[in-house]
């Protein structure tokens, strides 16, 4: 069964997981720090919420439908999967600010709670958008043990 960020109980469980993170939380895999992961997830969610996505390589735009299939599939994300240049976070960020930014982005998604026209994936139904948001957040929250 696909969980959805549009489900109030699922959204609340995601928010609680985010609140369990601390600046000292370390990843189980990967190179991002917890503040970088929060900034990355906030940026991804903000684009799902309608923020512009810039610097997309031509081959990513061309492969959009294939990427969408992976995003909305039941198959979990692989560890170390490459990401869009706008989502690559390499500098330090303020933990509390990024935690609040992500929580705000989740609330904005919940208030919208509908279909999305994504700059790479194209049209995502309400179900696809809710699942894609949950799947991405769950991947990174699991990476950090919450």
pLDDT in tens, 36-72: 999 999 999 999 999 999 999 999 999 999 999 999 9
Q: What is the pTM of this model?
A: 0.95
Phi, psi values for residue 126, rounded to 5°:
-55, -45
Count of other CB atoms within 10 angstroms of residue 47: 20
Q: Which residue has the tokens 């390499």?
A: 90
Q: How far apart are CA 61 and CA 142, in angstroms?
A: 29
- The three-point CA angle 99-52-106 to 5° equals 30
Average pLDDT in the 29-38 region?
97
CA end-to-end span of the chain, whole Å? 20
Residue written as token pair 């994504």: 118
């Amino acid at each position: 069964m696909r969980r959805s960020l549009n489900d109030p109980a699922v959204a609340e469980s995601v928010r609680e997981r985010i609140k369990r993170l601390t600046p000292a939380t370390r990843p189980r895999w990967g190179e991002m720090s917890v503040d970088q992961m929060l900034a990355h997830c906030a940026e991804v969610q903000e684009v799902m919420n309608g923020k512009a996505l810039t610097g997309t390589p031509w081959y990513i735009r061309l492969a959009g439908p294939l990427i969408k299939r992976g995003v909305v599939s039941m198959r979990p994300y692989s560890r170390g999967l490459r990401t869009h240049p706008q989502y690559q976070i390499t500098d330090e960020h303020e933990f509390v600010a990024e935690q609040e930014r992500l929580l705000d982005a989740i609330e904005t998604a919940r208030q919208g709670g509908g279909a999305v026209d994504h700059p790479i994936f194209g049209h995502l139904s309400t179900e696809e958008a809710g699942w894609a948001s949950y799947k991405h957040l769950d991947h990174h929250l699991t990476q950090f043990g919450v």
